[in-house]
Amino acid sequence: MGSRLAGRRVLLGVTGGIAAYKAIEVCRRMVDAGAHVVPVLTAGAQRFVGATTFSALASEPVRRSLWDDTDPIPHTRLGQSADLVVVAPATARVLSDYATGRSNDLLTATLLATRAPVLVCPAMHTEMWEHPAVQENLQTLRRRGVHVLDPDSGRLAGGDTGAGRLPTPEAIVEAAERVLTPQDMAGLRVLITAGGTREPIDAVRVITNRSSGKQGYALAAEAAARGAQVDVVATVERPHPRGVDVVLVETAAEMQDAVVGRTDACDVIVLAAAVADFRAKAPPDRKIKKDEGVPELVLEPTHDWSVDLGERKRPGQVIVGFAAETDDVLANARAKLRRKHLDLIVANDVAAAGAGFGHDTNQVVIISSAGMEEDVPLADKRSVARAVMDAVLVSRAAVPVNRSTP
């Protein structure tokens, strides 16, 4: 499945601001995601970045003018053929032209000639960004359905700091994918756990596992892209979309406290974290020295609070578990599905090549309490996340299962 940009024709407009250099990386990332990128540079943009650079990285040579193309109406052809138009950076001038319908170059003419979704990424100095004229133009564009990625705050070209800084290329590509993503999870609140818990042996050492949190964060990115309000409780911090709330914890007990206090407000709970089954009993609050000899390590089971969530699940709530197994994968996953009263479980053979902990790819089987099973072959973890969220929506739409049935 891959990126939502794969196979899409994206027109990348670049305007005359110092942040134009970031558009080079935006172009590269979009091409890497499988998009067919057509760069359109304004005359101002070419004072900051070279057309040769974009022509080398993009899918087609740079378009620069209404008059240097063999096509007599290049703006119409570009606008009609685009699946998405992204303008990054978008200067105050271009925003004004777009809002007022003025077309004095190839980019602004194409913006008026397209019916594709448009994402503008404003970047300018703080005083310009906060000017009433700029804000009114943005309100007009938003009212017409244009997607706006607000700038970040930070160090600006003049050396001072404030709002107006172009977001990172990663954030821009992420926003572009979101525009192309169906908003079928809008209005839902989703809680996701990620990473491997760490249980102390002493003040320095811990018992942990190999979970990297990559699959959990991929699930968060997918749910957020589809319009959900997402909370993540994790043992590791990784890059995540704007608006996703991340709470960092370490132990199974800390994760329990963070999760249980949030579940009542959630429509979907995805337990992707690898939570420890055992912890050291009464670990000392100091480092055990090597010359003290080998310590006697006494383990005790952690509380399986995921069972509590299944038993107290409210009507309409969907709970998804993960089963990281090395043998009898499906049998163990099915047993866990029943024992924990889950709606779905994702069976994950962590011994398989390229799957499981630490990898960027995964292969799973999604099993529902209604008896449906979907095999998801080896793919990147975002694609696996998409399959899981698709299954969540199917589960939400289904008639509740009689859980008293064996």
Asked if residue 163 and residue 257 are part of one domain, the reply reads: no
In a domain, 1, yes or no: no
Chosen domain end from 142, 157, 179: 179
How far, in Å, CA of 373 to CA of 170, rounded? 34
DSSP state of 265: G
Q: Are 219 and 296 in contact (CB under 8 A)?
A: no
**pLDDT for position 322:** 97
Give DSSP secondary structure letters for 24-68. HHHHHHHHHTT-EEEEEE-TTGGGTS-HHHHHHHSSSPPB--SSS
Asked if residue 354 and residue 210 are part of one domain, the reply reads: yes
Comparing 293 with 170, the larger pLDDT belongs to: 170
In a domain, 4, yes or no: no
Residue 303: which of 322, 283, 281, 275 has the closest Cα?
275
Comparing 399 with 243, the larger pLDDT belongs to: 243
Asked if residue 196 and residue 169 are part of one domain, the reply reads: no
**Residue with tokens 């698709």, as numbered in its chain:** 390
Asked if residue 244 and residue 300 are part of one domain, the reply reads: yes
Domain containing 68 equals: 9-179
**Which CATH number does the domain housing residue 172 bear?**
3.40.50.1950
* pLDDT per residue as tens digits for the range 337-372: 999 999 999 999 998 898 989 899 999 999 999 999
**pLDDT for position 3:** 85
Say how many residues make up the chain: 406
Asked if residue 227 and residue 90 are part of one domain, the reply reads: no
pLDDT score of 69 more than 90: no
Q: Are 177 and 241 in contact (CB under 8 A)?
A: no
Asked if residue 161 and residue 216 are part of one domain, the reply reads: no
Asked if residue 135 and residue 31 are part of one domain, the reply reads: yes
**pLDDT for position 403:** 38
pLDDT band at 399 (very low <50, low <70, confident <90, very high): very low
pLDDT score of 137 more than 50: yes
Predicted TM-score (pTM) of the model is 0.85
* pLDDT per residue as tens digits for the range 164-177: 999 999 999 999 99
* pLDDT per residue as tens digits for the range 190-224: 999 999 999 999 999 999 999 999 999 999 999 99
Residue 349 pairs in a beta bridge with 325
Chosen domain end from 179, 213, 235: 179
**362 catalytic residue (yes or no):** no
Q: For the beta carbon of residue 361, count every other beta carbon within 10 angstroms.
A: 17
Q: Assign 280 to helix, strand or coil.
A: strand
In a domain, 402, yes or no: no
CA distance from start to end of the chain: 35
**Which CATH number does the domain housing residue 320 bear?**
3.40.50.10300
Q: For the beta carbon of residue 284, count every other beta carbon within 10 angstroms.
A: 12
* pLDDT per residue as tens digits for the range 252-288: 999 999 999 899 999 999 999 999 999 999 999 999 9
Q: What is the mean pLDDT of residues 102-114?
A: 95
**Annotated catalytic residue, options 209, 348, 362, 402:** 209
Asked if residue 167 and residue 199 are part of one domain, the reply reads: no
Instruction: Give me the number of domains the chain comprises.
Output: 2
Q: Assign 90 to helix, strand or coil.
A: strand
Asked if residue 216 and residue 303 are part of one domain, the reply reads: yes
Residue 195: which of 238, 163, 231, 229 has the closest Cα?
238
Provide the Cα torsion 214, 324, 210, 353; round to 10°: -80
**pLDDT for position 296:** 86
Asked if residue 252 and residue 362 are part of one domain, the reply reads: yes
pLDDT band at 405 (very low <50, low <70, confident <90, very high): very low
Q: Which residue type is seen at 87? A: V
In a domain, 111, yes or no: yes
Chosen domain end from 125, 146, 179: 179
In a domain, 233, yes or no: yes
Q: Assign 13 to helix, strand or coil.
A: strand
Write the secondary structure of 348-393 as one string of H (helix), E (strand) and C (coil). EECCCCCCCCCCCEEEEEEEECCCCEEEEEEEEHHHHHHHHHHHHH
List the beta strands (DSSP E) in 100-149. Answer: 118-122, 147-148
In a domain, 263, yes or no: yes
In a domain, 320, yes or no: yes
Q: Are 345 and 336 in contact (CB under 8 A)?
A: yes
Give DSSP secondary structure letters for 152-218. EEEE-TTS-EEEEEPPPHHHHHHHHHHHTS--TTTT-EEEEEESB--EESSSS-EE--S--SHHHHH
Helix axes 92-100, 132-143, angle to 10 degrees: 50
Q: For the beta carbon of residue 399, count every other beta carbon within 10 angstroms.
A: 6
For residue 283, whether the previous peptide bond is cis, meaning omega lies within 30 degrees of 0, is no
Q: Which residue type is seen at 249? A: V
In a domain, 403, yes or no: no
